[in-house]
Chain A
Amino acid sequence: MNDAIEPTDERLLTRLGELFGRADPPPADAVELARQSFVLRTLDADLAALVEDSEEATGDAAVHRQAMAVRDPGTAPQPRQLTFQVIGPHGRDEVVIAVQVESVGPRRRLTGHLAPQGPARIEVRQPAVPQPRRVDADGRGLFVIDDVLPGPMSLTCRRAGVAPVATQWTLV
């Protein structure tokens, strides 16, 4: 018992580490999913960074949204708006993927549009879903994706003649 009374810092840290290792390790299924996510890499696509998230907005927009929610607490929250953008080197054409996220029961509905507009194939990747799902964006670049699971997701946009674009992983 003596070593419990005057242990060195390192020994105490080691004991704590063992305590948490035994009592609260990362869930095995979560670790396995993280391992398997390696296949979700998109090697051929340009990354579209998340440049705007209405739920991360600060300043006037956030205050306004908050005020709306307080004034009428019975209404559902406004849908979340995400904007992804490829910022190309030296004047290369930018690609914008704008997505509205709504909760439909336990799932998410994504309603999006592409700029520049035009038809495209949109792939939805999620770690818990083995095969990416595909939908088509119409001639104006509009698309709707139902039944997205809550959790991380990434969209890959493929169109003829240009490099595919993948959005930054985002929790929806």
Chain B
Amino acid sequence: MSDSEPDADMAVLVGKAAGGDAAAWDEIVRRYSGRVWAVCRVHRLSPADAADVFQQTWLRVLENLDSLRDPAKFGAWIGTTCRNEALAAIRRARRAQPVDTAWLLDRPGDPDDDPELPFLVADRDAELWQAFRQLSRRCRDVLRVLVVEAEGGRPSYELAAGALGMPIGSLGPTRGRCLGQLRRFLTEGIQAAGGGS
């Protein structure tokens, strides 16, 4: 998988795209779309806002290609940009409501407004999904943004830190703690299911 290739590869791709190579742009979009989508998801955007913020993030990347050749910078920039666009979309949606929502403005999203089942989870994933849903919102967000990056390569902590507004040094410990909780919920779920059968 090309995701496991070193960062130098990403610098080459961005350089080629900046020079007008559409195939290089396609490859960048292919590699990062899952990550950008995950950032939209952790901000609990409406479907229309999620699609807009996704598009807007890619257009901002396109606009700034020349200055994004440093791979570490690329991840941080795309994560921060998507987060800022998502937060702005949330603020606009709230201001459009003719009620006093000033007290909401500083909140990136309601903690408990996750849709019950935003998508169809296959049977084989059901146990893991049930355990995941028991995690705190912070844990769900950190893992959601980090897992897409784990496919065969190192996770982009730069992107996740930008996307979640967290110090980069806190991501590793948080990830470890959240995975520990997930493992515990998973074990409890399996034991409960085993005990009931």
A interface residues with partner B (beta carbon < 8 Å): 1, 4-7, 9-10, 12-27, 30-31, 33-35, 37-38, 40-41, 43, 47, 53, 55-56, 65-66, 69-70, 73-75, 77, 127, 150-152, 154, 168-171
Q: Which of A9, A17, A41 is B176 in contact with, Cβ under 8 Å? A: A9
Are A77 and B95 CB-contacts (below 8 A) given A5-B190, A37-B62, A40-B62?
A: yes
Are A22 and B118 CB-contacts (below 8 A) given A55-B91, A169-B63?
A: no
B141 within 8 A of partner (CB) = no
B interface residues with partner A (beta carbon < 8 Å): 17, 20, 22, 25-26, 29-30, 33-34, 36-38, 41, 48, 51-56, 58-60, 62-63, 85, 88-89, 91-92, 95-96, 98-100, 102, 118-122, 125, 127-129, 132, 143-144, 146-148, 150-151, 155, 175-176, 179, 182-183, 186-187, 190
Contacts of A18 in B (CB 8 A): 125
A-B residue pairs in contact (CB < 8 Å), sample of 16: A5-B187, A12-B183, A13-B155, A16-B147, A16-B182, A18-B125, A23-B120, A23-B121, A33-B55, A34-B54, A55-B92, A55-B95, A70-B100, A74-B98, A152-B55, A171-B56
- Judged by DSSP, the binding face of B is helix
Give complex CA distance A12, B151 in Å: 12
Contacts of B175 in A (CB 8 A): 9
Asked if residues B58 and A37 are in contact (CB atoms below 8 Å), the reply is yes
How distant is B58 from chain A, measured CB to nearest CB, in Å? Answer: 4
Give complex CA distance A169, B129 in Å: 37
Give complex CA distance A168, B60 in Å: 8
Asked if residues B150 and A10 are in contact (CB atoms below 8 Å), the reply is yes
- In the complex, how many residue pairs between chain A and chain B have their CB atoms under 8 Å apart? 153
Q: Which of A4, A20, A43 is B144 in contact with, Cβ under 8 Å? A: A20
Are A34 and B38 CB-contacts (below 8 A) given A15-B128, A56-B88?
A: no
Give complex CA distance A12, B129 in Å: 12
Asked if residues B150 and A150 are in contact (CB atoms below 8 Å), the reply is no
For B194, give the chain A residue with the smallest CB separation.
A1
Contacts of A37 in B (CB 8 A): 55, 58-59, 62
For B143, give the chain A residue with the smallest CB separation.
A16
Asked if residues B186 and A25 are in contact (CB atoms below 8 Å), the reply is no
